[in-house]
């Protein structure tokens, strides 16, 4: 029985030691009240994120700053992007030339569409990063709150009650240890049970302390992972790295779309207006323009008829630009169905049509022609008119509208039969006067260089290889000022024929070939 007593005293001492250890570890928290865990009041994602950001206390202020990066929503950033792009457009235009050529409507719309595809993808990725950041923040907050509750429970539940119960069992057992009765044996059995309970409670208490330490370490690792530079879970860093790509894609898409809008009506007919947003433009102005674009498609009207206005939103300026570009491409393709293409040949020194009364003069006189080729620089300057280009044999002007060029070429014919055998090689340069559009300064087009001017056949240009399809003349009007320069590059002939071929006046005629695209008004 003495051994039994010593054993019970040893157990009591162990329990007391455990109680002292846990009490020292959590003495500061023992008198604290149970942490109050508040339910999120937000009914939308943004409000929940704002509540989460505010919930982080001073020791987690770095996480608060981490989440504050997402305070400005993507719609506001989109408005900033288009305002900045519009302001930059004005700055560049003030220097004398727009950033993008307004007459390159097809190219501008194509590039804008591609950039808007990028912008939509970037916007989805930005939204996904924000959601991931909030989810990680909520996960961290959940772990933090669970840790606080665990600390409270451990601080306020020690092994002292078990130790007191064991001491009482020992005292009772001491009073009956010399009595050999059934009752005394039962009392000693109760003391054994109390000892086992005390030992179990002490182990459980120590395990809870260990789990709390593990949870705290895990939470610290989680926080470090969120803040670590280069970490896959540093969503703030990834968000800020992706944001410039989004704003650049959206800004250039807006500039391309605005450039296309300036010449769209002239080349393809009426279109919805695209405003120039600048630093003075308010968010409300951008929002109202965006809402107008939402109704451009009849399908959207159908959607609004099927769903309530609250369920269908117009979206931000990105969605509006997508709608504007799609509508513009639809209008352009519809107009193209009523367009025609053909090639016009303009001789420089001969009358375009027989004119018996002599009122019509050639573009270049015989004297100017000879002087320019043999004694001068080989430069011809003239102005084409619609009469020269589109007068038919009946003396009427073709019923064309929205006339523009898509290709140009030069051909030469030789003065005497068989002269083609000399195979003289000429190059040419064509400069067409650049034209302005309303709302933008003139975009200066470069000249078109033709490496080798071919000999004219009876049928004119034999194929597309005789014409140059260049951005330098694309969508320019043909009835404007022209400058053509003919340069002799080399002569390939028998020695006795070189002298005879040396003069450029061996060229009997220079023909200007223009590929025209136009809208037929009579259709």
The answer to whether the beta carbons of residues 199 and 15 sit under 8 Å apart is yes
Which two three-digit tokens encode residue 380?
A: 């011809």
Q: Which of 97-106, 250-259, 353-362 has the lowest mean pLDDT?
A: 353-362
The pLDDT score that the predictor gives to residue 23 is 42
Which two three-digit tokens encode residue 185?
A: 């044996």
Distance CA 187, CA 392 (A): 129
| Contacting residues for 419 by C-beta, under 8 A, at least 6 apart | 501, 506
Distance CA 468, CA 410 (A): 9
Query: Which of 146 and 354 is assigned the larger pLDDT?
Result: 146
The answer to whether the beta carbons of residues 78 and 318 sit under 8 Å apart is yes
Residue 314 clears pLDDT 70, i.e. is over it? no
The pLDDT score that the predictor gives to residue 264 is 95
Distance CA 54, CA 66 (A): 12
Helix, strand, or coil here: 13? helix
pLDDT confidence band for 371 (50 / 70 / 90) = confident
Which two three-digit tokens encode residue 252?
A: 């250039």
Over residues 41-54, mean pLDDT: 69
- Which of 316, 256, 324 lies closest to 79, judged by CA? 316
Instruction: State how beta strands 507-520 and 400-414 pair.
Output: antiparallel
Distance CA 40, CA 85 (A): 39
Residue 381 clears pLDDT 80, i.e. is over it? yes
Percent of the chain with pLDDT over 70: 68
pLDDT confidence band for 177 (50 / 70 / 90) = low
Q: What is the pTM of this model?
A: 0.78
Q: Using one digit for the tens of pLDDT, what is the confidence trace for 208-259? A: 777 778 888 888 888 889 999 999 999 999 999 999 999 999 999 999 999 9
| Contacting residues for 135 by C-beta, under 8 A, at least 6 apart | none
- Which of 451, 480, 481 lies closest to 466, judged by CA? 451
Residue in the block written with tokens 């005390």: 198
Helix, strand, or coil here: 510? strand
**Highest mean pLDDT out of 160-174, 365-379, 485-499:** 365-379
CA distances to 172, 174, 187 from 196, in Å: 17, 18, 15
The Cβ-side half-sphere exposure at 139, using a 13 Å CA radius, reads 15
pLDDT confidence band for 441 (50 / 70 / 90) = confident
Distance CA 446, CA 383 (A): 18
**Highest mean pLDDT out of 42-46, 204-208, 315-319, 417-421:** 315-319
The pLDDT score that the predictor gives to residue 172 is 57
CB atoms within 10 A of CB 477: 16
Residue 300 clears pLDDT 80, i.e. is over it? no
pLDDT confidence band for 14 (50 / 70 / 90) = very low
- Which of 443, 437, 515, 475 lies closest to 107, judged by CA? 475
Question: Which ranges of 347-399 does DSSP label H, i.e. alpha helix?
Answer: 366-370, 386-390
Q: Give the distance from CA 181 to its chain's centroid.
A: 91
The pLDDT score that the predictor gives to residue 490 is 45
pLDDT confidence band for 179 (50 / 70 / 90) = low
- What is the chain's Cα-based Rg? 44
Percent of the chain with pLDDT over 90: 30
Distance CA 247, CA 250 (A): 5
- Which of 239, 237, 253 lies closest to 81, judged by CA? 253
Calculate ∠ Cα 143-149-153, nearest 5°: 140
Question: Which ranges of 338-442 does DSSP label H, i.e. alpha helix?
Answer: 366-370, 386-390
- Which of 214, 51, 94 lies closest to 147, judged by CA? 214
| Contacting residues for 476 by C-beta, under 8 A, at least 6 apart | 103, 404, 405, 432, 434, 435, 445
Mean pLDDT of the chain: 76
pLDDT confidence band for 22 (50 / 70 / 90) = very low
């Amino acid at each position: 029985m003495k051994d039994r007593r010593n054993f019970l005293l040893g157990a009591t001492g162990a329990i007391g030691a455990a109680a002292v250890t846990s009490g020292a570890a959590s003495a500061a928290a023992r008198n604290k009240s149970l942490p109050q865990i508040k339910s999120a009041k937000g009914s939308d994602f943004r409000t929940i994120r704002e509540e989460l950001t505010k919930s982080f206390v001073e020791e987690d202020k770095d996480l608060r700053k981490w989440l504050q990066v997402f305070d400005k929503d993507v719609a506001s950033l989109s408005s900033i992007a288009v305002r900045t792009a519009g302001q930059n457009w004005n700055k560049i235009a003030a220097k004398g030339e727009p950033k993008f050529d307004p007459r390159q409507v097809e190219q501008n719309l194509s590039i804008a569409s591609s950039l808007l595809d990028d912008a939509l993808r970037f916007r989805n990725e930005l939204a996904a990063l924000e959601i991931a950041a909030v989810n990680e923040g909520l996960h961290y907050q959940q772990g933090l709150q669970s840790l606080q509750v665990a600390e409270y429970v451990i601080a306020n539940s020690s092994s002292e009650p078990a130790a007191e119960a064991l001491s009482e069992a020992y005292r009772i057992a001491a009073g009956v240890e010399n009595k050999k009765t059934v009752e005394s044996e039962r009392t000693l059995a109760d003391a054994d049970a109390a000892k086992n309970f005390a030992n179990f409670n002490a182990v459980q208490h120590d395990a809870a302390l260990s789990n709390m330490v593990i949870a705290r370490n895990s939470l610290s690792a989680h926080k470090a992972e969120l803040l670590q530079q280069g970490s896959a879970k540093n969503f703030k860093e990834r968000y800020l790295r992706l944001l410039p790509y989004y704003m650049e894609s959206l800004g250039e898409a807006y500039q391309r779309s605005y450039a296309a809008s300036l010449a769209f009506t002239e080349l393809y007919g009426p279109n919805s207006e695209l405003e120039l947003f600048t630093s003075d433009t308010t968010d409300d102005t951008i929002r109202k323009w965006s809402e107008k674009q939402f109704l451009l498609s009849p399908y959207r009207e159908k959607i609004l008829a099927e769903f309530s206005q609250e369920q269908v939103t117009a979206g931000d300026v990105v969605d509006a630009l997508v709608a504007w570009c799609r509508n513009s491409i639809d209008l352009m393709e519809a107009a193209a169905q009523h367009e025609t293409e053909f090639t016009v040949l303009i001789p420089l020194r001969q009358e375009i049509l027989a004119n018996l009364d002599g009122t019509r003069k050639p573009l270049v006189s015989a004297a100017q022609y000879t002087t320019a080729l043999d004694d001068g620089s080989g430069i011809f300057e003239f102005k084409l008119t619609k009469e020269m280009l589109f007068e038919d044999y009946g003396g009427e002007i073709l019923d064309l509208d929205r006339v523009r060029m898509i290709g140009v070429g030069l051909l030469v014919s030789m003065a005497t039969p068989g002269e083609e055998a000399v195979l003289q090689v000429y190059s040419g340069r064509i400069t067409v006067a650049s034209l302005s559009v309303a709302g933008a300064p003139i975009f200066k087009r470069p000249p078109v260089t033709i490496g080798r001017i071919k000999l004219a056949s009876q049928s004119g240009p034999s194929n597309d290889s005789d014409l140059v399809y260049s951005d330098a003349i694309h969508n320019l009007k043909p009835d404007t000022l022209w400058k053509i320069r003919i340069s002799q590059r080399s002569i390939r002939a028998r020695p006795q024929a070189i002298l005879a071929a040396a003069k450029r006046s061996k060229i009997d005629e220079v023909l200007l070939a223009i590929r025209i695209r136009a809208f037929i008004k009579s259709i």
